[in-house]
Amino acid sequence: MTNVAIVGASGYTGGELLRMLLNHPEVEVTEITSRQYDGVEAHKIHPHIRDSGLVFKNKQPSELEADIVFTATPHGASMKIVPDILETGAKVIDLSGDYRYKSRDVYEKWYGMEHTSDAEAVYGLPEIYRDEIKKANLVANPGCFPTGAILSSYPLIKNNIVDRIVIDSKTGVSGAGVNPSETTHYPNIADNVNPYKISTHRHMSEIQQELKGFEGVKVSFTPHLVPVIRGIQTTSHSFLNEENEDITPEEIRELYQKEYGDEYFIKIMDEGEIPHLSSVRGSNFAHIGGFEIDETGRLVMLSVIDNLVKGASGQAIHNMNILLGLPEQTGLTHFGLHP
C-alpha cells in the first residue's frame, strides 16, 4: 500500500480525490488536511464520504508522512508549500495553476502575483506528457478548461491543420468551487447562460501555451457558465489552413484515432454521435467528436469531460498511477453516470 495525503481536502477537488482514492485498490489515504476544519470528521464536509475514519488535521507540509501528496490548494498557496513537501521525499501532484507555466512571466501576468518557487514541474496531461510525468517529482495538474480544450484540438495542432482556433466552452458550476458567491447563487444560474471573462480568462494563456507551442496558430477562448453541476462541454471552431483546405472530415477523424487510439480515457465518437456530458459525469473519460467542416472552411470539434474528474482529481489520480508505475486506469475504470 502506498500512503497518500491530501492537502486542502475540504473543497470539491479534495472531495473527489477522496471519493475515488477510497475505492483505489493500491493506495491508502492516511492524511487529509485543512486549516479551517481541524479536528472535523470528513463526512461533516463531504456528506457522501461516510465511515472513512478520516479527520481533517491542520498539519504543516513538512509534517506530512506520505509517498504521494496531492495539493488541492488555491493558486498562490501551492507554491508556498510544495517545496517543503518535496523535501519530505514525497512526490507531489499540485492541482493549482502555480506550476503549469513554462514562462514565469506569463504566470505572473495572468495570475497577478509574483511566482516565488523554483521547483521543476511537468505539465500533467498524460496523453501528451506521459514520458516526462514518469520521471517527475512534481506534476502540475492541468486546468479544467485547458484539459477539454487541448484534448479537442491537439491533433490539429500537432499535424498543422488549422491556423486559428476559437474555443467556446460551457462549464458546470462546481468549477467555481465550494464557496457560495453571487456567481453560484442558484437563481442566477438556473435557467440561464452566463458568459464571463469573455476575452480575458486566465485559462486562455494555459491553452495557448499548449496549443500555440507549435507556432503561429491564433487561439481564442470564451467560457460560459451553464446550469450544470459538473462537466465542461467544449466547442472548438477551427479554420483550415491553406494546405489543408481540401481535407475531409473522415481524414480528420482518422488523425484523431491515430493520435488517441490507445488512450484508455479518450473515446472518439462514431460518425453521427454527439458527445454528452452525462456520458462522462463522475468519470475520468473524455469523449471527443464533431468532425464536421462547413462551406466556409470551419471545422467543428467537440469534447466533454467532467471538470472535477478528468479536469482535476481524476487526472491527478491518473498522474499518480503513472508516478507509481501502476496500470494507468487503476481505480478509474468506472463509467459516467448516465442518465
Residues 14 to 73: which contact a second copy by CB under 8 A?
A: 15, 19, 22-23, 44, 46-51
What is the spatial distance between Cα 267 and Cα 66, in angstroms, rounded to a whole number? 34
Among 40, 77, 229, 324, binds a second copy (CB under 8 A): 229
Q: Which is nearer to a second copy, 79 or 252 (CB)?
A: 252
Active-site position among 4, 17, 93, 144: 144
Minimum distance of a second copy from residue 114's CB (angstroms): 23
Which is nearer to a second copy, 49 or 86 (by Cβ)? 49
Positions of E strands within 64-124 = 68-71, 91-94, 122-123
Q: How far is the CB of 278 from a second copy (least distance, A)?
A: 5
Q: Tell me: does residue 284 bind a second copy (CB under 8 A).
A: no
Rg (alpha carbons) of the chain, rounded to whole number: 20
Contact with a second copy (CB under 8 A) among 202, 253, 281, 318: 281
Residues numbered 245 to 274 that lie near a second copy (CB under 8 A) are 267, 270, 273-274
Q: Answer whether 201's CB lies under 8 Å from 145's CB.
A: yes
Cβ-based nearer residue to a second copy, 159 or 222: 222
Task: Give φ, ψ of 197 to 5 degrees.
Answer: 40, 55
Smaller CB separation from a second copy, 141 or 208? 208
User: What is the C-alpha to C-alpha distance for residues 312 and 139, in angstroms, rounded to an integer?
Assistant: 12
Least Å from the CB of residue 309 to a second copy = 10
Q: How crowded is residue 164: how many other Cβ atoms within 10 Å of its Cβ?
A: 15
Residues 318 and 284: beta-carbon distance below 8 Å: yes
Which 180-199 positions form the footprint of a second copy (CB under 8 A)? Answer: 180-182, 184-196, 198-199
Beta bridge partners of 232: 171, 305
Among residues 142, 148, 231, 314, the one that binds a second copy under rule CB under 8 A: 231
Interacting positions 309-338 with a second copy (CB under 8 A): 333-338
Q: How far is residue 40's CA from residue 298's CA, in Å, rounded to a whole number? A: 53
Q: Using CB under 8 A, pick the residue from 34, 73, 96, 233 that binds a second copy.
A: 233
Is 144 assigned a catalytic role?
yes
Q: For a second copy, which stretch binds (CB under 8 A), given 54-62, 86-94, 114-122, 298-306? A: 298-306
Q: Phi first, then psi: what are they for 181, rounded to 5°?
A: -155, 170
Q: Looking at beta carbons only, is 255 or 264 nearer to a second copy?
A: 264
E strands, 101-157, where? 122-123, 138-140
Selection from 237, 234, 231, 232 nearest residue 219 by Cα: 237
Counting contacts by CB under 8 A, is residue 213 touching a second copy? no
- Binding to a second copy by residue 279, rule CB under 8 A? yes
Which residues, numbered 151-170, are part of the site for a second copy (CB under 8 A)?
164, 166, 168, 170
Please check whether residue 208 is in contact with residue 220, taking contact to mean a CB–CB distance below 8 angstroms: no
3-state secondary structure 5-30: EEECCCCHHHHHHHHHHCCCCCEEEE
Which sequence positions are flagged as catalytic?
144
